[in-house]
Structure 1
Amino acid sequence: MKKLLNDPRRVVREMLEGEVDLNPGQALLRDEDVVVRSGLPEPAARGVAVLSGGGSGHEPAHAGYVGAGMLHAAVAGDVFTSPGVDAVLAAIRAAAGPAGAVLVVKNYTGDRLNFGLAAELARAQGIPAEVVVVADDVALSDTVEPARRRGIAGTVLVHKVAGAAAAAGLPLEAVAAEARAAAAATGSMGVALGACTVPAAGRPGFSLGEEEVELGLGIHGEQGVRRVPLRPADALVQEMLDTILADAALRGGERVALLVNGLGGTPPMELAVVARSALALLRARGLAVERAWCGNLLTALEMPGASLTVMRVDDGMLARLDAPTEAPAWPGSGRIAPARQLVGTTAAPVAEAARPATPAGETVRRAALAAAAALEGAEARLTALDSAAGDGDLGISMSRGAAALRALPDAAWAEAPAALVRMGEAVRRAIAGSSGPFYATALLRAARALPAAPSPADWSAALAAGVDAIADLGGAKPGDRTMLDALHPAAEAFARALAAGQPPASAWEEAVQTARAGAEATASMRPRLGRASYLGDRALGTPDAGAAAAVVWLEVLAPHRAR
């Protein structure tokens, strides 16, 4: 896997240097991989310090949570490797004073040993220290006793509670007690869609089939508790939350906070889908979701997947979560509305009176439905073509437009011009990107050129008007490698054949053949407009997807042309 690194042996130090360069509230110890708050007072004037850390690869944890209101220092080990005792002790001495330090440690053997020994050494040097262990991974509920569970994303919430308690001026024992209460109130579980690659290893830690996921994973690139078939997001969310809620014995009426955590390789789109499902399920169980956060908060390099954390809260816990912090990676207030807010954007449409369709209106209806079916059948091919030189969304866009046409009421097809207008409205709403505006504009202008009882020449004029509308809107011309390279010659061929006295059927067949040739010719055209133009010569060899889509629906209009 390609990575933007220099020397894998220096990746942690260079990462921390970048972190501190970007955040003036942070400083880096010269001789250890430790980030501390900048501008800390002299040791005698310091309150309780809160520290955490562990192996690197979990960014933005842990350095991203160093700042007023959260951590005083974070200790970074090598990727997925606990930092050494000397580094932890250096962090304690740099951040703490006589008031002492609370060390928030995820429940892994290396972290417990190194942080635990450093705490013992700190005590011997006159710095009181308390170790708080986070073991929130409920996926191991049937495997190990609670005290041996792993610490995963719920650790971030423990950082926040402990940091806020320390900022409020509480003594060491009280800060530690609140941190332990937060850890005990927290349960997490994750799912991975693939592995991550440790820079020094250079290859993924495990392999998954296309239809497999790992359920109940840790955060060090390891496999999960079990491998299960890939299911829709809602089903995976339900399984994770069922496990978390059962382990915590949460019942309807209780108050919770939710954290949806990306593992590094999951886009915000998918995390939002997971968050939507988790919120709906928690509310359906009668739980009051007081706060919710979503994002990459404690990751496993670039692993695709997510974890869910649920924390039982009360007023005191919420006060700690709501307390201000300057930590750069804290995701904000987490305040959400008690239910999804939906607002109307337009007045309700006026119901149309049903009336018999004119022959021309019926022609448009049959043609539109045939085009819809053809575009749906070509979805995979259009997606593949668009992926070669665009963003790959044309196939699904055309299918959405097709569904919108089929959903039009019978009254929409009463007359041909009005039917074209309604078709334009439907595709405008259904198709995002450029295709929607292009087709909507073409249909609207074609409608204005079409009389209620059109002749073949009127259909030809309407087609030409629609093609001109696309050119006017987008600024393209034939030869620019767009849908116009199919549509423009087709419109010209249809008009020319009719003017020469050919029957409409043969004139239309000539138009379709011309459109096919035009679309095929785009494979040798250098794109001048649109996203494909960014590829230059790399787009050569593949026909333009928009032109190919135009051919798909032009071909099936032949049986429905006006006679």
Structure 2
Amino acid sequence: MFTSPSTDAVLAAIRAVSGTAGALLIVKNYTGDRLNFGLAAELARAEGIPTEVVVVADDVSLRETVEPERRRGIAGVVLVHKVAGAAAAAGASLAEVAREASEAAAALGSMGVALGPCTVPAAGRPGFTLGEGEVELGLGIHGEQGVRRVALQPADALADTMLSTIVEDRKVGRGDRVALMVNGLGGTPPMELAIVTRRALAFLAERGVTVERAWQGTFLSALEMPGCSLTLLKVDDARLARLDAPTEAPAWPGRGQVVTRRQVVPTRAALPTVKGHPKPQPMMPRVRAAALAVADAWDAAEARLTELDSKAGDGDLGLSLARGAAAIRALPEEAWATPSGALTELGQALRRNIGGSSGPFYATALLRAARFLASKPADAAAWAKAFEVGVEAVSELGGAKPGDRTMVDALHPAAVTLVRAVRE
């Protein structure tokens, strides 16, 4: 693992894939790779196979340690492969493909950060250890340690550190056009990579750099290492055409076009907001007290609801209802003026604050009940019927009936009992 292929293995690959046009070897700048690929290229040429070698040394974290040609090759090599592959597919000669690949390699800058080590299977132990709250900056792709160890920082700060180093080293400035690649090191989920991507795009925009293309994903990993690397490649129209060229490579994520302007399309009509009557109806203090009692019950049951939902679902019900309780308490005084208005405000508040399926269910029930009470005198019979139509709305929305082992199994008997009690 992480060891260069042997000269014979590289030579066998050259023989297997080369036609009369020859072969291009794209090599990351490590001693073993350069030696084995370089010797294989010599042997291939001796056999009459035209062979060129392009070395990628894009790791800018070593900028203060070694000269540019001695830097390591890391994730930016993926973009060199894309440029070279597109040039070859377009019919360019071996010399032209090698030139484009070499120019792309010279326009690259990359830097990585690890939140933890990886474990090489043969070794059976992590390649290095990090203390509590430490990260490794400027690492390679073979699980080795980085250039320096720093305290754990927010994702935005780490992205800024890496990009500041890249743009300074590669002299990327206002008016330049670049392609951005956010690469996961193997143990970083897409959601966390998206946080870094968001900041990287903002960082470059703040400096007047145009991000023509951006990709996010795991392109060059270090086994299960948690962390990421950032790559910038300067581009012009010709290089963009190579990056945009179609490919059948299954892991290539597509053209990576960046949306620079977001357009928010308003809905046809905003949901109504009930301002309430300046003089509350006499029953409304009791309605408000009942709603606040529900909020207290949700808070008291948060831990138990979380435990139950962890066994049956994703474990977020307790937290969701606690947020709903806070939303009920935050309703203004004027929201409690009329029955219909109060139920509408409750429905809107729960819709906005309770996640998952519970929020839509509660909101639908309350909004349906509010519409029923809007044109009715709010006596006991009307309240009971409003509860019944609210339960019917929940059943319609979710498609559940009594006996399906859903919340309808609790709501439906309660509605039937309430309606019957009021009639008697």
Query: TM class, shorter-chain normalised?
Result: 0.7 to 0.9
Aligned to 1:423: 346
Aligned equivalent of 1:444, options 350, 367, 390: 367
Query: How many Å apart are 1:490 and its aligned residue?
Result: 7.9
| Residues 139, 130 of structure 1: alpha-carbon distance in 2 compared, 3 angstrom cutoff | same
Query: TM-score of the superposition, structure 1-length normalised?
Result: 0.64
1:175 aligned onto 2:97: yes
Equivalences for residues 62-101 of structure 1 within 5 A? 79-101=1-23
Is 1:305 aligned with 2:227?
A: yes
Among candidates 172, 195, 214, match of residue 292 of structure 1 = 214
Structure 1: gaps of 5 or more residues: 1-78, 501-563
Structure 1 residue aligned with 2:336:
413
Q: RMSD value over aligned CA atoms? A: 3.7
Report the alpha carbon displacement of residue 383 of structure 1 after superposing the two structures with TM: 4.4
CA 1:407/1:219 → structure 2, altered by over 3 Å: closer, same or farther? farther
SS in 2 for 1:266: coil
Whether 1:186 aligns to 2:108 is yes
| 1:141 maps to 2:63 | yes
Which SS does the other structure have where 2:25 is aligned?
A: strand
Q: What is the alpha-carbon distance in structure 2 between the residues aligned to residue 332 and residue 125 of structure 1? A: 38
**Local SS of the residue matching 1:441:** helix
Summarize the Cα distance change of 1:368–1:332 in structure 2 as closer, same or farther, 3 Å threshold: same
Whether 1:392 and 2:315 are equivalent positions in the alignment is: yes
Do the aligned partners of 2:185 and 2:223 also contact (CA within 8 Å) in 1? yes
Pair 1:415–1:301, CA change in 2 (3 A)? same
Match status 1:273 vs 2:195: yes
* Alignment of structure 1 residues 204-283 onto 2, 5 Å: 204-208=126-130, 211-283=133-205
SS of 1:335's partner is: coil
SS in 1 for 2:195: helix
Shift of 1:477: 4.8
Q: Distance in 2 between matches of 1:413 and 1:370?
A: 15
The 3 A distance-change label for structure 1 pair 362 and 276 is: farther
Q: Secondary structure at the match of 2:239?
A: helix
Q: Counterpart of 2:214 in 1: which secondary structure?
A: strand
- 3-state SS of 2:135 partner: strand
Pair 262,124 (structure 1): closer, same or farther in 2 beyond 3 Å: same
**SS class of match (1:292):** strand
8 A Cα contact 1:190 1:240, kept in partner = yes
* 1:369-404 deviation line (CA, Å, top 9, x unaligned): 675587578767654543343213324433554565
Offset of residue 285 of structure 1: 1.4
Which of 258, 277, 286 is equivalent to 1:336? Answer: 258
**What pairs with 1:345-364 in structure 2 (closer than 5 Å)?**
345-348=267-270, 355-356=277-278, 357-361=280-284, 364=287
Counterpart for residue 319 of structure 1: 241
Moved more, 468-477 or 429-438: 468-477
Q: Distance in 2 between matches of 1:373 and 1:231?
A: 38
In 1, Cα distance between equivalents of 2:388 and 2:129 = 54
The 5 Å alignment of 1:27-38 reads none
Give, in whole Å, the separation in 2 of the partners of 1:370 and 1:134.
66
Aligned counterparts of 1:224 and 1:396: Cα–Cα separation in 2: 40
Unpaired runs of 5+ in structure 2? none
Q: Distance in 2 between the 1:380 and 1:247 partners?
A: 52
Please give the alpha-carbon distance, in whole angstroms, between the structure 2 residues aligned to 1:297 and 1:227.
24
Match for 2:193: what amino acid?
Answer: L
Q: 1:214 to 1:499 in 2, by over 3 A?
A: farther
Determine if contact 2:275/2:335 at 8 Å carries over to the other structure: no
Conserved? CA contact 1:102–1:130, under 8 Å: yes
| Partner secondary structure for residue 386 of structure 1 | helix
CA contact (8 A) 1:198 1:204 kept: yes
Name the residue aligned to 1:508.
Answer: none
Q: What letter matches 1:258 in structure 2?
A: L
Matches within 5 A, 1:510-549: none
Displacement of 1:474 in angstroms is 5.5
Indicate if the aligned counterparts of 2:58 and 2:105 stay in contact, CA closer than 8 A.
yes
Question: Aligned partner of 2:51: which letter?
Answer: A
In 2, are the aligned partners of 1:360 and 1:453 still within 8 Å (CA)? no
- SS of residue matched to 1:342: coil
Q: Which letter maps to 2:135? A: V
* Residue of structure 2 in register with 1:8 after alignment: none
Aligned amino acid, residue 443 of structure 1: L
Q: Structure 1 residues 207 and 346 mapped into 2: Cα distance closer, same or farther (>3 Å)? A: farther
Aligned length, in residue pairs? 421
* Alpha-carbon distance between aligned partners in 1 of 2:368 and 2:415, rounded to the nearest angstrom: 14
Confirm or deny: 8 A CA contact 2:58 2:110 kept in the other structure.
Answer: yes
Distance 2:187 2:294 in 1: 38
Give the Cα separation in 2 of the matches to 1:101 and 1:492.
Answer: 79
* Comparing 299-308 and 311-320, the one that deviates more: 299-308
Task: Say if 2:276 and 2:341, in contact at 8 Å, map to a contact too.
Answer: no
Q: Bigger shift: 315-324 or 455-464?
A: 455-464
Q: Is the 8 A contact 2:372 2:386 kept in 1?
A: yes
Superposed counterparts of 1:452-471, under 5 Å: 466=390, 470=394
- The alignment partner of 2:55 has SS state of strand
